[in-house]
Amino acid sequence: MQAKQLEISRLASVAPPTVQAIIDGRLMNAASGKTFPVISPIDGAAIAVLPECDAADVDRAVTGARAAFESRRWAGMPPKMRKRVVLAWAELIAAEALELAVLESRDMGMPIRMAEDLDIGFAVETLRWYGEAADKIYDELANLDDQVSALIMRAPLGVIGAILPWNAPAMIGAWKLGPALIAGNSMVLKPAEDASLVCLRMAELALKAGMPEGVLQAVTGGGEAGAALAGHMDVDCITFTGSAEVGRKIMTAAAASNLKRVSLELGGKSANIVMADAPDLGMAAAVSVDFMFGHQGQVCEAPTRLLVQRKVRDRFVDEVVARADALRIGNPLDLANNLGPVVNGSQRDMILGRIADADREGIRFALDGRAKTLPSTGFYMAPSIAVSNNPRCSLAQEEIFGPVLTVLEFDDIDEAIRIANGTRYGLGASIWSSNLDTVFHAAKRLVAGNINVNGGTGPVVELPFGGFKESGFGRDRSLHAIDKYCDLKNIIIRSSR
């Protein structure tokens, strides 16, 4: 562990390897020459300067992606060759896993273990999985009558724009890159301005792995670049993960331009239902705290509403508070720390504003993170736990995307289901009970794309991921994701005999 910590410290002083946009296989600055600084939330220091791409750069990237698609140098490549490229790419990323994890941690504050195992590790696993799938997917044949048969083929859409959030960019990026690329599309990747460095390096490594120039472009910048991609007349599909607010803008831009397809993975307010007959209340408390606070609550599926059956509420909340209070907060590159900073100063101010609103609503905090002494530089926050008996209160309704948990109570499972379904979101839900009947009853009625029972599992590429209601539509991960990046085409063949 000490050797690893020393290596992490060494890597933390290495300059980011890729700090330009990648268009047509070349590293480039914005045509305007504009740049923006990359500020580390660890200490507020600038660690890089990136091109601030605008509509002109996005247009260059889309033109390059279209040319690559039309040339068929990727779309026309045998799937087994695409497989080799994607697998080689995954291995190049794996070979730099710790370097990339340190870079991610410096860029947006994710604790180093999580950055290594979840963000980079799962990105590698995802690319391996889709790489392997590339040459194992077949299409359909329909025999219509004795003379006529039809091939029902998946055809790649063409140019896919992927717009990413900052909270786990390598992993979420891979969820989009893997299926879209193995299907033969070309892509323009637009990482978030708060977390671009790892994505840029991944795009550069794709070229090293043998991905033809122009197949994967990466443009840096913020809303201006994203909006230009969403409104571009020659982009066939936008695959987006981020806030509901920006998701709406993307749908509007798609409708106002070329009716490009859109898939949206948006926010959540996931309910975590703890019944008194949970198989292990101690484990339920431990998992709930890790899942909720692990990345400072900056996880779309984080179980931000803890619904506890009234008869065990006080006991369970005491345990959750004790565990959350014991988490060590500090530099995310220190292996001994559990939590790092939140992503930036304005996010911290927004979260503090939500807590102040709750104060004004008279909501009681069983744990008030504001009382904790924290590092004086950087954007650190400690976990807060509010206890309310009003499921409609603002803390229980609005996504905060920070370390603020709201505890609610209920008497029976039907009341819990009503509360759980009583938000505009529908991304995740959890239930803890040893009664199979209760579990199935709840799981069938909960409106959520991912339901964990008695701990379930962390993210896995084998399962589709996405939400209901205002959590968006379309699914990342699993073979289902490939369908987002293809359309069906019939080739109907008549024999003359």
Residues that bind ligand NAD (CB under 6 A): 163-167, 172, 190, 192-193, 222-223, 226-227, 230, 241-243, 246, 249-250, 265-268, 300, 399, 401, 427, 467
Of the pair 39, 85, the CB lying nearest ligand NAD is at: 39
Q: How far is the CB of 190 from ligand NAD (least distance, A)?
A: 6
- Amino acid identity for residue 377 in this structure: T
Q: How far is the CB of 269 from ligand NAD (least distance, A)?
A: 9
Residue 209 to residue 343: CA distance in whole angstroms = 31
Q: Helix or strand or coil: residue 254? A: helix
- Tokens for 136, please give them: 């194992």
Q: How far is the CB of 357 from ligand NAD (least distance, A)?
A: 18
Q: Which of 300, 393, 409, 486 is catalytic?
A: 300
Task: Name every residue whose Cβ is closer than 8 Å to that of residue 348 and which is 6 or more positions away in sequence.
Answer: 341, 342, 379, 381, 402
Q: How far is the CB of 244 from ligand NAD (least distance, A)?
A: 6
Q: Which is nearer to ligand NAD, 212 or 222 (CB)?
A: 222
Q: How far is the CB of 222 from ligand NAD (least distance, A)?
A: 4
Residue among 156 and 191 whose Cβ is closer to ligand NAD: 191
Q: CB of 65 within 8 A of CB of 45? A: no
Tell me the pairing of strands 140-143 and 384-387: unpaired
Residue that the structure tokens 């989009």 belong to: 176
CA 256 to chain centre: 26
Q: Which is nearer to ligand NAD, 239 or 309 (CB)?
A: 239
Min dist CB 229 to ligand NAD, Å, is 7
> Is residue 300 annotated as a catalytic residue, yes or no?
yes
Task: Give the three-class secondary structure for 92.
Answer: helix
Closer residue to ligand NAD (CB): 228 or 358? 228
Catalytic site residue 393? Answer: no
Nearer to ligand NAD, 235 or 284 (CB): 235
Residue with nearest beta carbon to ligand NAD: 226
Q: Which of 265, 301, 319, 470 is catalytic?
A: 265
Rounded to an integer, what distance in angstroms lies between the CA atom of residue 53 and that of residue 226? Answer: 9
Which pair of tokens denotes residue 264?
A: 């949206």
Phi, psi of 125 (to 5 degrees): -60, -40
The position carrying tokens 């749908």 is 251
Cβ-count burial 270-307 (b if 16+ within 10 Å, e if not): bbbbbbeebeebeebbebbbebbbbbbbbbbbbbbbbb
Within a 10 A sphere around the Cβ of 358, how many other Cβ atoms?
22
Contact 49, 36 (CB under 8 A): yes
* Catalytic site positions: 265, 300
